[in-house]
A = this chain, B = another copy of it.
Amino acid sequence: MNAVGSPYLPDPEKFHGYLNRIYETGRLSNNGPLVRELEERLQDFLGIRNLLLVANGTLALQVALKALNVRHEAVTTPFTFIATSAALCNEGVTPRFADIDPESLNLSPERIRGHAGPGTSALVPVHVYGNPCDVEEIERIAANRDLAVIYDAAHAFGIDYDGNSILRWGDASVLSFHATKLFHTGEGGGIVFWDDQALERARSLINFGLDPGNGEIKEIGLNAKMSELHAAMGLAVLEDLPDILAARKEVLETYERELQGWVEFQEWGPKASKNGAYAPILLSDVSERKRVEKYLSGNGIACRPYFSPALHETSPLRTGTDLPNATAQAGRALCLPISPGLSRTRVKSICDRIKTVLSNE
Q: A interface vs B, CB < 8 Å?
A: 6-7, 9, 12, 15-16, 19-20, 22-23, 26-30, 55-59, 81-83, 85-86, 89-90, 92, 178-179, 184, 186-187, 208-210, 216-223, 225, 227-230, 233, 311, 314-317
List the B side residues contacting A16 at CB < 8 Å.
16, 19
In whole angstroms, what is the CA distance A228 to B28 when docked?
15
Please name all residues of chain B whose beta carbon is closer than 8 Å to the beta carbon of A58 when the two chains form the complex. 208, 222-223
Q: Is the CB of B222 within 8 A of A29?
A: no
Q: Which residues from B are CB-within-8-Å of A316?
A: 209, 217-220
Interface CB pairs A-B, < 8 A, 26: A9-B23, A12-B19, A16-B19, A28-B233, A29-B178, A29-B179, A29-B187, A30-B179, A55-B187, A56-B225, A57-B223, A82-B208, A82-B209, A82-B217, A83-B223, A86-B208, A86-B223, A179-B227, A186-B227, A186-B229, A187-B223, A187-B227, A216-B314, A217-B315, A217-B316, A227-B229
Asked whether, in the complex, the Cβ of B12 is within 8 Å of the Cβ of A23, the reply is yes
A233 to B55, CA, bound (A): 17
Chain B residues whose C-beta falls within 8 Å of the C-beta of A208 in the assembled complex: 58, 81-83, 86
8 Å CB contact of A22 from B9, B178, B187: B9
Provide the bound-state CA to CA distance between A86 and B208, in Å.
7
Complex contact A90–B220 (CB within 8 A): yes
Partner among B7, B55, B216 whose Cβ is within 8 Å of the Cβ of A26: B7
Nearest 3 interchain pairs by C-beta: A28-B179, A58-B223, A217-B314
In the complex the two chains form, what is the Cα distance from A14 to B228 in whole Å?
18
- Verify A186–B7 contact, CB threshold 8 A: no
Residues of B with C-beta under 8 A to A225: 56, 187
Q: How far is the CA of A81 from the CA of B223 in the complex (A)?
A: 12
A305 to chain B, nearest CB (A): 10
Please indicate the chain B residues that have their CB under 8 angstroms from the CB of A218 in the complex: 315-316
A4, chain B: closest CB distance, angstroms: 13
> Which residues does chain B contribute within 8 Å of A217, judged by CB atoms?
82, 311, 314-317
Contact at B26–A9, with CB atoms within 8 Å? yes
In the assembled complex, the CB of A236 is this many whole angstroms from the nearest CB of chain B, namely 12
**Complexed CA–CA distance, A50 and B207 (Å):** 28
Alpha-carbon separation in the docked complex, A15 to B219 (Å): 37
A316 to B6, CA, bound (A): 44
Candidates B178, B184, B216, B223; contact of A56 at CB < 8 Å: B223
B residues within 8 A CB of A7?
Answer: 26-28
Q: Which of B22, B29, B83, B220 contacts A86 (CB 8 A)?
A: B220
